[in-house]
Every structure is written in C-alpha cells, then in structure tokens.
C-alpha cells in the first residue's frame, strides 16, 4: 500500500509537473488480477482498485493499519465500473453490475472480490475511511440513487449525478460517495468550481477513451495547477484545493469525500471569472 502525506498550499504552488503527479495523482489503480491501495493522510482516506480475473481477490489485512483486519476501525464504499462482479462480506454475496454501489460498515471482517467473467472482469473502485460507529452493509443500484440531471449542453456540462452514500442515502459515519456521468458533447465537471475546507475529496475518472485525457484543475483559486489524467486514474483533492476539470471527450467520474460533515451541498463556490 502506497502512503501519501499532506502538502501545504505554498508547497504545492512551487511543485513541478512531476512533483504534482507524485503527490496527488494515483496511477495504475486497475490492474488485472490485483488489488491496488493508496493511503492518503488527508482524512486518512484509502483509495483502491480491484480487478479480479480467474480467481477471487481477498481484501488484505495491511500491516500499515495496525489492525486485526482491514475494516476493524474503518468503513468502505465500493462502486463497480466494469463487468458484473460480486463483493462477498462476512459470507453475504452482493452481486454488482456496472455503476452499482456497496457499502461495508466498520467491523466487517472478511471481504473478497470476484468477477462473473474473466474476459469482462469487474473493476471495483473503493474508498475507505476511519469510522467510529457501525452502520449496516448495503447495496444500492444506480436507479435507487435517484439520479439528478444538471448542467446544459450550451455550457458543455450536461450531466447526471448519482448519490449513493450520503445523508439521504446509504448511511455512513463520514464517507460520502457517488458518481457523475457526462452526456456526449459535454466535457466540464464540477461547475462551478469550489472548495470545501471541512472535507477532502478524491476523484476517479472512468469510461474515458484511451486516446483522450482529462485536465483536472487544482490548487488555490488564484494559484491554480493542473494534472493531465488518463482513464481509470484518481486524484487526491486537499481540503484547501479548488477542483474541477475538462476532458477532450465525455467521461464519468466517481467522487468521494471524508471529513467534518456529510453535507453534499457544503461547498464554497469559486466564480469562474475569479480563477487565475
């Protein structure tokens, strides 16, 4: 498991492209037959990717956590962006189609991931954060997530938002998680740009053609930086950092937050005209 430490706004403003990528970009998340994990010191979120092929993959104990099992003091959200698969938690199997979600509460001891087809394997994206209370394990389909349409084709940001783990959805201690898909012809996400110093966030971009890229903007609103991102890559967004992005084609992205509250609308907009 990789470990990423925190970076200050001043430090980040002086980073080279390579230093930005080393500190904030998470590459190689979806590798066949493996589980990939990155531990961030921003609210101690763990970002992971699991691609089971011929056999199931077990969630490891991870020595870094100093726990008897991975979710002894943690909760986890899982969204599938690949073929049909199954998450088995303490003997209960949850079959997950593409864009469906499973939440696992604190105290879940045995977790494994498998794919229905080796040729079209599941691609499980996961987020895990510390938890002080146990909430029940639960699955949610994208239809149950009460999709919300936002934006407009005239501003190239017509999109559909699916909220899974939040105050009015699957209950959790501090994890908030969902996804957004952009319509054909729309390329801008998270408009208006915003910050929320009470929570960190991670973005995972998917369904982006291999020849295309997403330009993810970050940094302070008047001291912006950017990362060029490919399909199935994730980026860590510090609580002080603005975040929004644009692609060379449409795509989808999974957003997840942890911190002081679970209010989805708790954000401080940054008017586009003020960004530098």
Q: How far apart are CA 32 and CA 55, in angstroms?
A: 11
Helices then strands, each counted (H, E), the chain: 2, 23
Query: For the chain, what's the residue count?
Result: 276
Three-state SS annotation for 59-89? CCCCHHHCCCCCCCCEEEEEEECCCCEEEEE
pLDDT at 233: 98
* CATH code of residue 160: 2.60.120.10
**How large is the average pLDDT for residues 134-155?**
94
How sure is the predictor about 264, in pLDDT bands with cuts at 50, 70 and 90? confident
Structural tokens at position 65: 């956590």
Domain count, the chain: 1
User: Which H or E run includes 127?
Assistant: strand 124-130
* CA dist 129 → 10, 97, 266 (Å): 26, 24, 19
Residue written as tokens 């692609």?
247
**Model confidence over 75-123: pLDDT tens digits?**
999 999 999 999 999 999 999 999 999 999 999 999 999 999 999 999 9
pLDDT at 160: 96
The candidate with the shortest Cα–Cα distance to 70, out of 131, 139, 138, is 131
Domain containing residue 112: 2-274
Q: How far apart are CA 122 and CA 51, in angstroms?
A: 6
Cβ atoms within 10 Å, residue 266: 16
DSSP string computed for 91-106: TEEEEE-TT-EEEE-T
**How large is the average pLDDT for residues 194-217?**
96
pLDDT at 146: 83
């Amino acid at each position: 498991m990789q470990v990423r430490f925190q970076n200050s706004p001043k430090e980040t403003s002086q980073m080279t492209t390579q230093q930005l990528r080393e500190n904030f970009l998470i590459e190689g998340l979806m590798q066949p037959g493996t589980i990939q994990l990155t531990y961030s010191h921003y609210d101690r979120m763990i970002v992971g990717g699991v691609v089971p092929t011929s056999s199931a993959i077990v969630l490891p104990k991870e020595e870094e956590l100093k726990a008897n099992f991975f979710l002894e003091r943690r909760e986890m959200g899982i969204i599938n962006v690949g073929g049909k698969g199954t998450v088995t938690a303490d003997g209960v199997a949850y079959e997950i189609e593409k864009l469906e979600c499973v939440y696992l509460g604190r105290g879940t001891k045995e977790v494994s991931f498998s794919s229905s087809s080796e040729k079209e394997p599941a691609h499980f994206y996961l987020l895990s954060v510390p938890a002080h209370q146990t909430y029940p394990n639960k699955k949610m389909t994208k239809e149950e997530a009460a999709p919300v349409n936002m934006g407009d084709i005239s501003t190239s940001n017509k999109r559909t938002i699916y909220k899974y783990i939040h105050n009015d959805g699957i209950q959790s201690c501090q994890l908030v998680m969902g996804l957004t898909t952009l319509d054909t012809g729309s390329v801008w996400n998270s408009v208006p740009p915003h910050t929320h110093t009470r929570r960190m966030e991670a973005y995972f971009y998917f369904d982006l053609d291999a020849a295309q890229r997403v330009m993810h903007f970050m940094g302070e609103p008047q001291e912006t930086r950017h990362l060029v991102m490919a399909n199935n890559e994730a980026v860590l967004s510090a609580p002080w950092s603005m975040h929004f992005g644009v692609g060379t084609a449409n795509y989808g992205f999974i957003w997840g937050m942890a911190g002081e509250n679970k209010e989805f609308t708790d954000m401080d907009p940054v008017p586009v005209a003020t960004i530098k």
